[in-house]
Chains A and B, each alone.
Chain A
Amino acid sequence: MNFEWLGRQSDNIVFLLGWHVLLAVIPLILGLLIALPLGWWAHRSRRIYPLLVGVAGLLYTVPSLALFVLLPLVLGTKILDPLNIVAALTIYTVALLVRVVADALESVPEDTVQAAKAMGYRGYQSLLKVELPVGVPVISAGLRVAAVSNVSLVSVAALLGIPQLGSLFTQGFQLRFFTPIIAGIVLCVVLAMILDGLIILLNRWLTPWTPKVVAS
């Protein structure tokens, strides 16, 4: 471990870290926003559910590097445009979360949904004020998986030369110098843990009503 090198490179590392955060978090938010209506649609219709969940599963199996290379052709962007990464990771996030949102809505007790309807909630009111809030724990569990997955997928973009923590890996391999590689791995893990922790906190803040489980 060459700490002197780390000290000299700290500005660059912070710059890479900043990009890494942006490239992981923006798709996470966009993906959730897109997955919400799609998940609702899948939940509403028995015929749509297997179709949407099936397509989502297929999308997730497309290798990330292939998607990074193919997307510029579809979107008409340049190969080095970070937008490609955002688009690709948004697709992965949606693929993960469509099923999660549908299952979250499915997890709401039938009695609760019926009560909301019988008390005069209109369809959208029931969805926004009852079903989604009650489904938050399931959605945040899925969101945690997507967040960690995004942090690790972003680093693949290094192969295209888009700056983020993955660039430390390529740099280290080219120079046969392990310090940047170790720094990159540590920062990726820490970033994943921080995002995970933030989602846990957000979930706790949104669901003061869940039974407090005593850790065993």
Chain B
Amino acid sequence: MIKFENVTKAYPDGTVAVDGLNLEAPTGKLTILVGPSGCGKTTSLRMINRLIEPTSGTIYLDDQPTSGMDAALLRRRIGYVIQHAGLFPHKTIVDNVATMPVLLGESRQKARIKALELIERVGLPASFAKRYPWQLSGGQQQRVGVARALASDPAFMLMDEPFSAVDPVVRGQLQDEFLRLQREIGKTIIMVTHDIDEALKLGDQVAVMRVGGKLAQMASPSELLTSPADEFVADFVGRDRGYRSLGFTKTAGAVAIGEEAVIQLGASADEARAKASGAWVLVVDGSRKPLGWAQPELVRGEVTREHLNLSGIPAVVSGTMRQLLDAALSSPSRRGVVVDENGELIGTVTATDVVKAIEAEPHLETAR
């Protein structure tokens, strides 16, 4: 547990970065500090490992006040991940990861063995171990940054905009993998971000801060979307929060999935026409995995990959209402493709089906 008790940070010029912050990050949970720039979220984070000293108030790690601890020893108990990874350019990847255990007195050899495991755990090949940071892409460096923070198996982790310096596709991957990792390791984490979508996606609880360093609301993501405490939070969470809250609503069999006739690549134009419903027909591969939609009237001879429209995003049946609705809206036929966990076709849904299900059960159980 990390606890802020009346913590204030004021600078000599009178600026108040953090104002009387009270906050508790429960053990084993991911707490996110989010807010516009200048809200003091990064300052708050950096006060925990005393990169910045609070002006007044106390921060506790598992009920021990941090103010009395040796700062360097305190920092060695806390994993730390920053925006551009901040890897040591002169150390190999394996030695970067082994840094903290070596500082804590472990032998270099033992630390390297553990570091190798961690490198693979964050999704990098072991062959990267002997490379230097400049040889890695931004996303790969960020993975190393996470591995380095985990190396000494700390109970606490602080993450300062860990995924914001990489492109959106990589960011999504890193977030998903990090969620999976956190489910296994269950660290007590405080993460800072300015991206409300990231906060809602990753956080067990989200603390929204406002300019001037005050806590506006602390709640679970779905609660933040459905009952924001005031106008500032409502505004910050965003105008399309009704739609986004669907991201926390499991479909859980509430939506009727219709059957869809399918063809395979190589089917004749006649077969495509016969199977099509409306202007579009769904094309799957040999194991019923959806490949894309085709328009039979454009097909001369047989259906090939060139005929496929790939704009639809399939939804997994165990996913959320938001994914299901998005599948329907993104599909050229307006029929959203639904697949099982293995990616095999189950059927299709229309936006109307999804909306009906939402209207029928306004209080569907939330995902968390």
Contact surface of A with B, Cβ cutoff 8 Å = 109, 111-112, 114-122, 125, 130, 133-134, 207-211
Known A-B contacts: A115-B82, A119-B80, A209-B90. Give 5 more (CB < 8 A): A111-B84, A112-B87, A112-B89, A118-B51, A209-B132
Interface stretch, picked from B69-77, B207-215, B270-278, is B69-77
Report B189 CB to chain A, min CB distance, Å: 15
Task: Evaluate contact between A117 and B75: CB separation under 8 angstroms.
Answer: yes
Supply 23 A–B pairs (Cβ within 8 Å), ascending by A. Answer: A111-B82, A111-B85, A111-B86, A114-B51, A114-B82, A114-B86, A115-B88, A116-B88, A118-B80, A119-B75, A119-B103, A120-B76, A120-B100, A121-B72, A122-B72, A125-B103, A133-B90, A134-B89, A134-B90, A209-B91, A209-B132, A210-B134, A211-B134
Q: A111-B82, A211-B134 are in contact. Are A118 and B89 (CB under 8 A)?
A: no
| Chain B residue at minimum C-beta to C-beta distance from A117 | B51
B6-44 contacts to A (CB < 8 Å): none
Question: In the assembled complex, which residues on chain B have CB atoms less than 8 Å from the CB atom of A115?
Answer: 80, 82, 86-88
| Chain B residue at minimum C-beta to C-beta distance from A110 | B86
Task: Evaluate contact between A112 and B88: CB separation under 8 angstroms.
Answer: yes
Task: Evaluate contact between B49 and A118: CB separation under 8 angstroms.
Answer: yes
By DSSP majority rule, is chain B's interface helix, strand, loop, or mixed?
A: loop
- Which single member of B72, B73, B89 contacts A209 (CB below 8 Å)? B89
Report B195 CB to chain A, min CB distance, Å: 20
Report B84 CB to chain A, min CB distance, Å: 5
CA distance A210 to B76 in the complex (A): 28
Q: A111-B85, A114-B51 are in contact. Are A207 and B80 (CB under 8 A)?
A: no
- Which single member of B72, B86, B90, B92 contacts A120 (CB below 8 Å)? B72
Q: Is B205 an interface residue (CB 8 A)?
A: no
Q: Is B295 an interface residue (CB 8 A)?
A: no
Contact surface of B with A, Cβ cutoff 8 Å = 49, 51, 72-76, 80, 82-92, 99-100, 103, 132, 134, 148
Question: In the assembled complex, which residues on chain B have CB atoms less than 8 Å from the CB atom of A133?
Answer: 90
- Which single member of A112, A208, A209, A210 contacts B86 (CB below 8 Å)? A112
Task: Evaluate contact between B99 and A119: CB separation under 8 angstroms.
Answer: yes
Task: Evaluate contact between B82 and A109: CB separation under 8 angstroms.
Answer: no
Question: In the assembled complex, which residues on chain B have CB atoms less than 8 Å from the CB atom of A116?
Answer: 88
CA distance A22 to B20 in the complex (A): 65
Report A117 CB to chain B, min CB distance, Å: 6
| Chain B residue at minimum C-beta to C-beta distance from A130 | B88
Question: In the assembled complex, which residues on chain A have CB atoms less than 8 Å from the CB atom of B90?
Answer: 130, 133-134, 207, 209
| Chain B residue at minimum C-beta to C-beta distance from A207 | B90
CA distance A210 to B132 in the complex (A): 8
- Which single member of A114, A121, A134 contacts B103 (CB below 8 Å)? A121
Task: Evaluate contact between B134 and A120: CB separation under 8 angstroms.
Answer: no
CA distance A121 to B70 in the complex (A): 12
Q: A112-B88, A130-B88, A134-B89 are in contact. Are A118 and B82 (CB under 8 A)?
A: yes
Report B90 CB to chain A, min CB distance, Å: 5
Question: In the assembled complex, which residues on chain A have CB atoms less than 8 Å from the CB atom of B80?
Answer: 115, 118-119
Question: In the assembled complex, which residues on chain B have CB atoms less than 8 Å from the CB atom of A118?
Answer: 49, 51, 75, 80, 82
Question: In the assembled complex, which residues on chain B have CB atoms less than 8 Å from the CB atom of A112?
Answer: 86-89
Question: In the assembled complex, which residues on chain A have CB atoms less than 8 Å from the CB atom of B74?
Answer: 120
CA distance A209 to B73 in the complex (A): 29
Question: In the assembled complex, which residues on chain A have CB atoms less than 8 Å from the CB atom of B49?
Answer: 118
- Which single member of B75, B88, B134 contacts A134 (CB below 8 Å)? B88
Q: A112-B89, A211-B134 are in contact. Are A120 and B51 (CB under 8 A)?
A: no
CA distance A210 to B92 in the complex (A): 11
Question: In the assembled complex, which residues on chain A have CB atoms less than 8 Å from the CB atom of B75?
Answer: 117-120
CA distance A134 to B89 in the complex (A): 7
The interface centre, meaning the residue of B51, B88, B99 with most chain A CB atoms within 10 A of its CB, is B88
CA distance A37 to B99 in the complex (A): 26
Report B208 CB to chain A, min CB distance, Å: 25
CA distance A206 to B72 in the complex (A): 28
CA distance A112 to B91 in the complex (A): 11
Question: In the assembled complex, which residues on chain A have CB atoms less than 8 Å from the CB atom of B132?
Answer: 208-209
CA distance A119 to B100 in the complex (A): 6
The 10 A-B residue pairs with the shortest CB-CB distance, nearest first, are A115-B86, A120-B76, A111-B86, A120-B75, A118-B80, A209-B132, A209-B90, A120-B72, A133-B90, A122-B72
